[in-house]
Amino acid sequence: LSIMVGGDANAVATVAPCLEALGQTIVHQGGPGTGQHAKMVNQTLIATNMIGVCEALLYAQQAGLDLNRVMQSVASGAAGSWSLSNLGPRIIAGNFDPGFYVEHFLKDMGIALAEAKRMGLDLPGLALAESLYRDVDEMGHGRSGTHALALALAKRSSVTLSD
């Protein structure tokens, strides 16, 4: 677990032992609210990266490629990511058990988009991801893992993910 924390330095130091029990990477981002903003950066990266992971695997499937061989080819190169290496095999296996729930991800994306709007930012990639994840939720997968995005993308293309 990577922990992004904001707040008074003395307060953060006081709770450091608790944080260390939860995760190995703990970064004090600055004053109050900065940890939340860093978390929104994290969620934005995951949301947009997950689109690429799911679309790529769907493309590979429809091209008739062996998905495990594709993973072997791309996961360790420039296209590699934690999501691809850890959730890609689960997508291939049809295992959409949660590590992080879609419904919680939607909440976070809503927060990030609201904050972006407040800051005068237009984040079309994140807005697209939120829209796609709403489709996942409407399919009844709000309590599935974020990689269940593959199901909504397959549905949009009128294909079925193979196991």
Catalytic residue annotation: 39
Question: Which amino acid is present at 44?
Answer: T
CA 146-90-107 angle, to 5 degrees, is: 5
Q: What phi and psi values does residue 46 have, to the nearest 5 degrees? A: -65, -45
Q: Which residues of 87-108 are buried (b: 16+ CB within 10 A; e: fewer)?
A: bbbbbbeeebebeebbeebbeb
Query: What's the Cα-to-Cα distance from 126 to each of 57, 65, 77, 86, 159, rounded to whole Å?
Result: 20, 29, 25, 22, 24
Q: How many CB atoms lie within 10 A of CB 65?
A: 13
Sequence-ordered list of residues with C-beta below 8 angstroms from that of 18, at least 6 positions apart, any chain: none
